[in-house]
Amino acid sequence: MVTPPTRLELRPVDDEETYAVMESSLCGTIPYCYVYNHLSLALMRGEIDEASTLLIFGKSPMAMALAYTGKMLGLQVQVHMIGSAEEVPKCFSALGAKVKMWPYGTNYLTIHCYLKAMEKHYSGWRLDDRDRHLMSEISQDYVVDICERMNQLRKSPAKIVLKLSSIGLISALSSTIRDCFPHIEVLSLSSKSMSMAGC
């Protein structure tokens, strides 16, 4: 498996007055690191083998990261989401993941029970992206690294723009940067909407 990089990018954008914090690639995203850590633990525990199917609900960056990692490992991936067949994101098919669309109005409990049955009877392994404990630990490592590098900058920037796929990391970084560097304006640039707004 590809080892995820340990650093986010910290780049000057405007004559060192503004710096951007961003992920370098899919393998450098916080969701990918989350998937990587969970899969590594599952492999060590023997919870996953070559017959396993990786399962996830939703079309989040986490699902994309699981589809990508599953392809790298040669494992089947099923992504479950609510919507119509016309709304299936092409990126999942390109990564070889199977997408199961549930009709609008389907109760989440129905999907949850289906995924539990897949885990129990059909060698399924589900990534529960609602468990945020490991994500929190990963985010904290990034926060410490970025703040240490900001301390080493030749000139303190006036603004920091956070362009990240993890809302949790944006929140953690925003709060910590404001505490440690109260003179710096912190902005977020959503990877999804590409619109800038104050955090």
Domain ranges of the chain: 9-25+133-198, 31-126
- Compute the half-sphere exposure of residue 161: CA atoms within 13 Å on the CB side of its CA: 18
pLDDT tens over the chain, length 199 residues: 444 445 678 889 877 789 998 876 656 677 787 788 888 889 999 999 999 999 999 877 788 889 999 999 999 999 999 988 777 778 888 899 999 999 999 998 999 999 999 998 888 999 876 555 655 666 677 778 888 888 888 888 999 998 876 676 788 788 888 888 899 999 987 544 433 333 3
- Compute the half-sphere exposure of residue 197: CA atoms within 13 Å on the CB side of its CA: 8
Give the three-state DSSP class for 51.
Answer: coil
Q: Find where tokens 């599953």 sit.
A: 70
| Cβ count within 10 A of residue 71 | 15
Q: Just give the CATH number of 9-25+133-198.
A: 3.30.750
- Compute the half-sphere exposure of residue 20: CA atoms within 13 Å on the CB side of its CA: 14
pLDDT of residue 166: 67
pLDDT of residue 146: 85
User: Is domain 31-126 annotated with CATH 3.40.50.720?
Assistant: no
pLDDT of residue 46: 93
pLDDT of residue 144: 82
- Distance, CA of 180 to CA of 141 (rounded, Å): 16
- Compute the half-sphere exposure of residue 29: CA atoms within 13 Å on the CB side of its CA: 20
pLDDT of residue 32: 81
pLDDT of residue 133: 62
Please indicate whether the domains covering 9-25+133-198 and 31-126 agree at the CATH topology level.
no
